[in-house]
Amino acid sequence: MSQTIDKAEVERISKEYRGLRNVHGKFEGGDKWIDAVDSPDGGKHTMMKQLGEILGKPNTVAAEILAHLGEPDQLTTNLDQANPVVNLMPGPLIGSQPGVTASGAQEYYLVYFWRGKNDYLYFKIDANQEKVISHGWKYVATE
């Protein structure tokens, strides 16, 4: 993490996000719309955007993401929801060439759902170095 980022502020944002992560709004099987988790201006989306900007910088160690956002909702080599995805554990396959995961991929994605599986934040990770390559968002419809 950059030296200019206030670690206490990142922890505050992370804690707030983790609290909202377990709240199930309309898009995640809840009975009603909950602004804090369903709204694009709600706390969950706001915290996720902030954490994405902070932790999604190239060369951020993947362990930092896990420490602040927790276990991803999905770990995959493919963001294409039309095709089946293969969940995998990060890291090299024992006995394989450096940088090759169990699926043979050179990179993988840590995926954090915002409003179910349709809207999510992802971090593209280099499988060899276990560092961020890039990050981004997938939305069903543009905002």
In a domain, 32, yes or no: yes
In a 13 Å sphere around the CA of 109, the CA atoms on its Cβ side amount to 21
61 confidence band (pLDDT: 50, 70, 90): very high
In a domain, 1, yes or no: no
How many distinct structural domains can be found in the chain?
1
CA distances from 1 to 66, 85, 126 (A): 13, 30, 17
Residue 93 predicted with pLDDT over 80: no
Report the pLDDT averaged over residues 71-99: 61
* Domain extent for 96: 7-138
Look at residue 81 in the predicted model and tell me its pLDDT: 57
Look at residue 119 in the predicted model and tell me its pLDDT: 93
In a domain, 115, yes or no: yes
Look at residue 135 in the predicted model and tell me its pLDDT: 97
In a domain, 52, yes or no: yes
In a domain, 98, yes or no: yes
In a domain, 2, yes or no: no
Residue 19 predicted with pLDDT over 50: yes
Give the whole-angstrom CA distance, residue 88 versus residue 5: 31
In a domain, 143, yes or no: no
In a domain, 120, yes or no: yes
